[in-house]
Amino acid sequence: MANENQFRVKTRFIATRNVKEFRETIDRWVDEDDVVLEIGCEWGTTSVLIAPRCKELVAVDISGDCIERARQKHPGIRFEVLDAFDVRAALRLGEQFTKIYIDMSGLSGYRSLLDVIALLTMYATVLRPEAIVVKSGALKHFASRCTAWGQNPQGRPSAR
Ligand SMILES: C[S@@+](CC[C@H](N)C(=O)[O-])C[C@H]1O[C@@H](n2cnc3c(N)ncnc32)[C@H](O)[C@@H]1O
Please report how the helices 113-126 and 137-144 are oriented relative to each other, as an axis angle in degrees rounded to 10. Answer: 90
Q: How far apart are alpha carbons 150 and 119 in whole angstroms?
A: 26
User: Residue 160: pLDDT above 60?
Assistant: no
Q: pLDDT tens digit string along 126-140?
A: 999 999 999 999 999
From the CA of 62, how far away is ligand 1's center (Å)? 7
Residue percentage of the chain with pLDDT more than 90: 83
32 or 9: which carries more pLDDT confidence? 32
Q: How far apart are alpha carbons 105 and 130 in whole angstroms?
A: 24
pLDDT at position 64:
98
Residue 156's pLDDT band (boundaries 50, 70, 90)? low
Q: Ligand 1: residues within 6 Å at CB? A: 19, 39-42, 45-46, 61-63, 66, 83-85, 103-105
The residue type found at 85 is F
Question: Do the Cβ atoms of 41 and 26 come closer than 8 Å?
Answer: no
From the CA of 64, how far away is ligand 1's center (Å)? 11
Residue 107's pLDDT band (boundaries 50, 70, 90)? confident
Lowest mean pLDDT among 5-9, 28-32, 65-69, 111-115: 5-9
Q: How far apart are alpha carbons 136 and 153 in whole angstroms?
A: 24
- Calculate mean pLDDT across residues 32-50: 98
Q: What's the N-to-C CA distance of the chain in angstroms?
A: 36
pLDDT at position 134:
97
From the CA of 82, how far away is ligand 1's center (Å)? 10
pTM of the shown model = 0.93
